[in-house]
């Protein structure tokens, strides 16, 4: 089993290049991030080259975070901003050779928001050959987020009908909203582009909580890519990595 460190949460107190080196020292097989745009892409690429770790993915900009935004791609009247964020992510991904780009839809609802999201996803899928990911966020952490269930994501992926559009299956978000993780992993297998995990309900390390990750990781034996550790360490990241030794 291979694992990727999500540096949006792990070693988040360090500059991104230093966090990449820390993930390598800890034994991770890859890294991924949230919003790396304050760090020059060349600096990230240099750290990746030095460690030999691949960058699995990054997110599009959330927009005006202080104003309460959490993504742009489903917001009415914001197509220019949404597509600028997609272009920014594609350009950064090209420098660091990121495998995927997660397009964040934001807080919205209704048929017009759906049509806007579909249109912007078609733009993103045409803008790059890299994988484009969409991720349902749970209603507890992100109430009002447009994409909130895997069924909704599956329907959107079918409607866009682009070969590089895939589902980001986060066991934490699905666990909090839908449950039945093993069945959903099986049913959605063909459209999943990346898998992430954290404990439920506290989003901590995968060594406690409602989900039995020994069983989940066993179910995923043979998954070809590293699984993304996207949990909140609540302190020193290195002190939380006992699970990594056990499950590798």
Dihedral sign, Cα of residue 92, residue 94, residue 95, residue 99: positive
Q: What is the rounded distance in angstroms from the CA atom of residue 107 to the CA atom of residue 214?
A: 34
| 166 touches 133 (CB < 8 A) | yes
User: Is the pTM for the entire model greater than 0.95?
Assistant: yes
What are the CA-CA distances from residue 244 to residues 2, 34, 118, 139, 179 (Å)? 9, 21, 37, 29, 24
How many contiguous H segments (helices) and E segments (strands) does the chain have? 9, 8
pLDDT for 248:
82
Q: Which residues contact 102 (CB under 8 A, 6 or more apart)?
A: 57, 58, 59, 60, 133, 134, 135, 168
Number of Cβ atoms within 10 Å of the Cβ of 174: 25
Residues in contact with 100: Cβ distance below 8 Å, sequence separation at least 6, in sequence order: 56, 57, 58, 130, 131, 132, 133, 166, 168, 193, 194
How far, in Å, CA of 21 to CA of 51, rounded? 7
With a CB cutoff of 8 Å and minimum separation 6, the contacts of 50 are 21
Question: Domains of the chain (ranges plus CATH)?
Answer: 3-247 (3.20.20.150)
Helices within the chain (DSSP H only):
16-26, 41-51, 79-96, 111-127, 150-160, 171-177, 181-187, 213-219, 242-247
Residue 156 has what pLDDT? 98
* 223 DSSP 8-state letter: -
What's the average pLDDT block by block, 10 residues per block, for the chain (248 residues)? 97 98 98 98 98 98 97 98 98 98 98 98 98 98 97 98 98 96 98 98 97 97 96 97 93
Q: Which residues are catalytic?
A: 135, 230
Bridge partners of residue 72, in order along the sequence: none
């Amino acid at each position: 089993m291979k694992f990727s460190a999500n540096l949006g949460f792990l070693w988040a107190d360090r500059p991104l290049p230093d966090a990449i080196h820390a993930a390598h020292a800890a034994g991770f097989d890859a890294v991924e991030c949230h919003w790396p745009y304050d760090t020059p892409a060349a600096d990230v690429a240099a750290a990746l080259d030095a460690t030999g770790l691949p960058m699995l993915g990054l997110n599009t900009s959330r927009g005006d975070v202080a104003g309460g935004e959490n993504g742009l791609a489903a917001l009415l009247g914001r197509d220019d901003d949404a597509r600028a964020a997609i272009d920014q992510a594609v350009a950064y991904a090209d420098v660091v050779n990121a495998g995927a780009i997660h397009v964040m839809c934001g807080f919205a609802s209704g048929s017009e928001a759906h049509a806007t999201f579909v249109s912007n996803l078609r733009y993103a899928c045409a803008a790059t050959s890299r994988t484009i990911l969409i991720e349902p966020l749970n209603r507890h952490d992100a109430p009002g987020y447009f994409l909130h269930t895997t069924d909704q994501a599956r329907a959107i992926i079918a409607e866009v009908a682009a070969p590089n559009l895939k589902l980001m299956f986060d066991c934490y978000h699905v666990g909090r909203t839908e449950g039945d993780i093993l069945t959903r992993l099986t049913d959605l297998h063909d459209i999943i582009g990346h898998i992430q995990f954290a404990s439920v309900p506290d989003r901590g390390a995968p060594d406690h909580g409602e989900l039995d990750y020994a069983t989940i990781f066993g179910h995923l034996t043979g998954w070809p890519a590293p699984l993304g550790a996207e949990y909140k360490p609540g302190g020193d990241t290195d002190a939380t990595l006992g699970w990594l030794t056990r499950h590798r």
